[in-house]
Amino acid sequence: GAVVSQHPSRVICKSGTSVKIECRSLDFQATTMFWYRQFPKQSLMLMATSNEGSKATYEQGVEKDKFLINHASLTLSTLTVTSAHPEDSSFYICSAHNIDSSSTDTQYFGPGTRLTVL
Amino acid sequence: EDQVTQSPEALRLQEGESSSLNCSYTVSGLRGLFWYRQDPGKGPEFLFTLYSAGEEKEKERLKATLTKKESFLHITAPKPEDSATYLCAVQAAGGSYIPTFGRGTSLIVHP
């Protein structure tokens, strides 16, 4: 149980294009999902908190118009990197909070998406 | 501000050589402390949640313990497949579910 998927796992795009990353909780409902960014050999950097049916809450320094987040259902959140540039190249990871879990505070992570912007 | 410090930053062990990873934390009331394992190019895999001092949890060769100031992840007789980065995170009581992560300990187990 508590499986989170991400799609795509890897994407290469040209500078200026937009890229959408999907995060799904496969066997549980998640009212809250989180989006992280991770640079090589560094820890996770929280970008935003996504709540089902409401606007995402962005961390300081994260451009909301650059990183569009939509949480349309209890099992799906999407992150769209708009007008991507090489500096947006990174490893993006989502996590979901399992509201039905006995460990109600635990987040479960997706496998991550490697974005490379040329 | 909540803080999590993991040590050592990197650890090399021989297969079978037991050791411990440390996670020191400061938080205004602990809701939970989490341990994750992360393999290169993958998302973190959940290992344990600890809620109160004195609590211990085990899974195969791993055992996590918790005090009021720190947590240890003990690795008994490690195998090469235990090689990974181990992340610790704390969640403060009250408010959001957003955890604060440490920078991780990179563990390499040599055969």
Tens of pLDDT, residues A44-75: 999 999 988 888 999 999 999 999 999 888 89
Instruction: Pick left, alpha or beta for residue B54 (phi over 0 → left; psi -120 to 50 → alpha; otherwise beta).
Output: left
Q: Give the model confidence (pLDDT) of A16-30 as tens digits.
A: 999 999 999 998 888
**A99 confidence band (pLDDT: 50, 70, 90):** low
Q: Looking at chain A, which residue has its C-alpha nearest residue B103?
A: A43
DSSP state of B33: E
Q: Looking at chain A, which residue has its C-alpha nearest residue B87?
A: A43
CA triple B62-B104-A24, angle to 5 deg: 85
**Whether A111 and B87 lie within 8 Å, measured CB to CB:** no
- Closest CA–CA distance from residue A44 to any residue of chain B (Å): 7
Instruction: Give the separation between CA B15 and CA B94, rounded to whole angstroms.
Output: 42
Q: Which residues, listed in sequence order, are joined to residue B84 by a DSSP beta bridge?
A: B107
Q: By three-state DSSP, how is residue A88 classified?
A: helix
Pick from A49, A93, A109: CB nearest B98: A49
Q: By three-state DSSP, how is residue B9 classified?
A: coil
Instruction: Pick left, alpha or beta for residue A41 (phi over 0 → left; psi -120 to 50 → alpha; otherwise beta).
Output: left
- Closest CA–CA distance from residue A110 to any residue of chain B (Å): 6
**Whether A91 and B41 lie within 8 Å, measured CB to CB:** yes
| B42 part of contact set with chain A, CB < 8 Å | yes
**Residue ranges of chain B whose pLDDT lies below 50:** none
Q: Give the model confidence (pLDDT) of B36-68 as tens digits.
A: 999 999 999 999 999 999 999 999 999 999 999
**Whether A109 and B91 lie within 8 Å, measured CB to CB:** no
**Whether A105 and B43 lie within 8 Å, measured CB to CB:** no
Q: Looking at chain B, which residue has its C-alpha nearest residue A97?
A: B97
Residue A77: both structure tokens together = 């959140």
Whole-angstrom CA distances from A2 to A28, A98, B11, B95, B98 are 6, 7, 30, 23, 18
Higher pLDDT, A102 or A118: A118
pLDDT at position A54, please?
84
What sign has the CA pseudo-torsion A101, A106, A108, A113? positive
Among A107, A108, A113, A115, the strongest candidate for a mutation testing the B interface, having the largest count of B CBs within 10 A, is A107
pLDDT at position A104, please?
58
β-strands A4-7, A19-25: how paired? antiparallel
Phi, psi for residue A87 in degrees, rounded to 5: -70, -10
